[in-house]
Amino acid sequence: MDKIINAIIEDDFEWFAELINQKGADVIDKNGFTPLMYCIQNEKKEMIDFLLDKDIDINKVNNIGNTALFYAVFKSKNKTDIVEKLLKKGADINISNNTGISPLSLANSMANEKVKDFMNNWR
């Protein structure tokens, strides 16, 4: 997983794609983070799209119970594009993490009206 993280940080799509094709898209690190979670946190849209075209567990949780959608909401900066892609792929807005916070409740607690409205109208 360290090589995948390095490819994400270095924004090396070719290396990233090669590693994902070798190791699989649902590989996790010691904290349960998936490549999708890292790509979302680092705002790597091309890599996110590549992963979403794979057969992945879109609702996989890490060791603290967060899903990729949780990180997409957190990083959204009043943009809904990544959130929408994850929802279309089947991401669950109601999966609560270890502290009881779901992506939907996170969106509702943030001062991010566009994402909040989008998620509340998704149902």
| Banded model confidence at residue 112, pLDDT cuts 50, 70, 90 | confident
CATH code at position 47: 1.25.40.20
pLDDT at residue 122 is higher than 90: no
- Please check the confidence at residue 111 and state whether its pLDDT lies above 90: no
101: region left, alpha or beta (phi > 0 left; psi from -120 to 50 alpha): beta
* pLDDT surpasses 80 at 123: no
Res. 27: pLDDT tops 80: yes
Which of the four pLDDT bands, split at 50, 70 and 90, describes residue 78? confident
Q: What does each C-alpha distance from 79 to 68, 84, 87 come to in angstroms?
A: 16, 9, 14
* Average pLDDT across the chain, whole number: 94
Q: What is the pLDDT of residues 40-64, one digit of tens each?
A: 999 999 999 999 999 999 999 999 9
Count how many domains the chain has.
Answer: 1
Contacts of 61 (CB under 8 A, 6+ apart): 32, 67, 95, 97
* Domain that includes residue 81, residue range: 2-122
CA dihedral 14, 70, 94, 106 (to 10 degrees): -160
